Amino acid sequence: MRIQVGIVGAGPAGLMLAHLLHQHGIESVVVDTRTRDEIEGTIRAGVLEQTSVDLMTATGIGDRVKQQGQVHHGIELRFGGQGHRIDFADLTGGRGVTIYPQHEVLKDLIAKRLADGGDIRFGVSDVRVEGVGGDSPTIRFTEGGTEQVLHPVLVAGCDGSRSTTRFLVPAPKPRQDHFRQYPFAWFGILAEAPPSSDELIYAHHENGFALVSTRSPTVQRLYLQVDPNDTPTDWPDDRIWQELHTRVSGEGARILEGPIFQKSVLHFRSFVCEPMQYGRLFLAGDAAHTVPPTGAKGMNLAIADVYVLSRAMAEYFAGGETGALDAYTATVLPRVWRAQHFSWWMTSMLHRMPEASGFDLNRQRAELDFVTRSRAGRTLLAENYVGTPLD
Ligand code: PHB
């Protein structure tokens, strides 16, 4: 089957790319080893920058995010028993973020793709991408027991943080050199309870970091910094609530409890694959770079990548121009490294390092104090959190 673009991975990057390409009149095939139910049913975080929401709206998939997304104009940083609001609207000229879970974005994208006659192959196995360094790449996979072969002109590697297409880029910058592991993990729970707070709370405490987030008016998402070797059995419900009350405590703080129906441990790291392309292969989203979740940037970076990539591909198919495709890595990397820095900064400011001394904790306090007291400090956080325009 000859096609214009073959896309590996039906996550935010792959599906958004297929959707944006369609707007340019370019047809693609998306393949994923997961079923549609798995993709739509895996509950993931969702903090959308205004530009991500604007792009969804401008391309006809903005209805549900408008109705169901919660617009937040600030977050709270909590430390030393006190909360400090970072007022995004005031600090960034009225901007904010929209809380709308990633799987809802995926549902919107899948529904629109299918309504537009798009081709998505769910639940395939044995995906192999070959020949991206030459003129005739192939994507092979097994579907319903039969081997299929796609012959795309261009290939997009959108297969997430466990990407295999990433390894088709020969000799990227020494991989270890663009990689950072963190000596802790997040223990995340979903609980049936109304939101404890109107806005997200990022709490620094000597026991470790805690985050109060939300999924819907009846479901809360809460996280605790834990040892990376911890498993859900180390965290019975009582211990979780007690630790949340301890870490998110003090003036004006409350944690509303409710039945916990999901527990998971989230390991995180920072990573950039540079270059993000090789021959006819272009990486986008987590396949190309991974950020810790503290900065809430992951999905927005994926959307920003494919916005640039879709336009470069459109230019290529319109007149054979390769300039924008050649410049893809250079065009998107500054945003990627900005997000890397911001996510690392938020992480290191708010978490307890395993060997932390009194010196480290007091240095963190001094930083948090500056970031919350000084308008310049608050603006630094707010500008990065709400994100920058796509162009
Ligand atoms: C989440 O709701 O899961 C969430 C929110 C903000 C973050 C990370 C995760 O920074």
pLDDT in tens, 74-116: 999 999 999 999 999 999 999 999 999 999 999 999 999 999 9
Is it the case that residue 42 has pLDDT exceeding 90? no
pLDDT in tens, 198-252: 999 999 999 999 999 988 889 999 999 999 999 999 999 999 999 999 999 999 9
Structure tokens at 315: 């230019």
pLDDT of residue 119: 98
Is 385 among the residues known to form the active site?
yes
pLDDT in tens, 251-276: 999 999 999 999 999 998 999 999 99
Pocket test for ligand 1, best of 44, 220, 221, 342 (most atoms within 8 A of CB): 221
**327 CA to middle of ligand 1, Å?**
32
pLDDT band at 171; cut points 50, 70, 90: confident
Is 223 among the residues known to form the active site?
no
Is it the case that residue 184 has pLDDT exceeding 80? yes
Nearest CA to ligand 1 atom 7: 296
Domain chopping of the chain, boundaries:
2-72+94-179+269-346, 184-268+355-386
Can you tell me which residue has the tokens 């991206």? Answer: 132
How many angstroms separate the Cα of 198 from the Cα of each of 76, 202, 257? 10, 13, 15
Pocket test for ligand 1, best of 42, 43, 44, 47 (most atoms within 8 A of CB): 47
pTM over 0.85: yes
pLDDT band at 44; cut points 50, 70, 90: confident
Is it the case that residue 55 has pLDDT exceeding 90? yes
Structure tokens at 263: 């527990």
From 182, 223, 307, 385, the catalytic residue: 385
pLDDT of residue 194: 95
Atom of ligand 1 nearest to the CA of 101: 2
Fold of 2-72+94-179+269-346: FAD/NAD(P)-binding domain (3.50.50)
Can you tell me which residue has the tokens 């530009």? Answer: 51
Q: What is the CATH number of domain 184-268+355-386?
A: 3.30.9.10
pLDDT band at 131; cut points 50, 70, 90: very high
Is it the case that residue 176 has pLDDT exceeding 80? no
pLDDT of residue 178: 87
**45 CA to middle of ligand 1, Å?**
5
Which of 226, 286, 282 lies closest to 45 in space, CA to CA?
Answer: 286
Alpha helices in 42-139 (DSSP H): 50-58, 63-68, 88-91, 102-115
Is 182 among the residues known to form the active site?
no
Alpha carbons 210 and 208: distance in angstroms, whole number: 7
Give yes or no for a contact between 182 and 269, defined as CB atoms under 8 angstroms apart.
yes
pLDDT of residue 158: 98
Number of other residues whose CB lies within 10 A of the CB of residue 360: 12
Pocket test for ligand 1, best of 77, 86, 104, 200 (most atoms within 8 A of CB): 200
Atom of ligand 1 nearest to the CA of 294: 10
pLDDT of residue 372: 98
Mean pLDDT rounded to a whole number for the chain: 96
Q: What angle do CA 98, 102, 108 make, to 5 degrees?
A: 95
- On the question of a common fold for 2-72+94-179+269-346 and 184-268+355-386, the answer reads no
Number of other residues whose CB lies within 10 A of the CB of residue 366: 10
Alpha carbons 167 and 162: distance in angstroms, whole number: 10
Number of other residues whose CB lies within 10 A of the CB of residue 243: 20
pLDDT of residue 272: 95
Is 293 among the residues known to form the active site?
yes
Give yes or no for a contact between 182 and 292, defined as CB atoms under 8 angstroms apart.
yes
Is 297 among the residues known to form the active site?
yes
pLDDT of residue 322: 97
Percent residues over pLDDT 70 in the chain: 99
**296 CA to middle of ligand 1, Å?**
6
**97 CA to middle of ligand 1, Å?**
12
Establish whether the linkage from the previous residue to 275 is cis, with ω within 30° of 0: yes
pLDDT in tens, 312-364: 999 999 999 999 999 999 999 999 999 999 999 999 999 999 889 999 999 99
pLDDT of residue 173: 75
Query: Coil, helix or strand for 371?
Result: helix
Is it the case that residue 177 has pLDDT exceeding 90? no
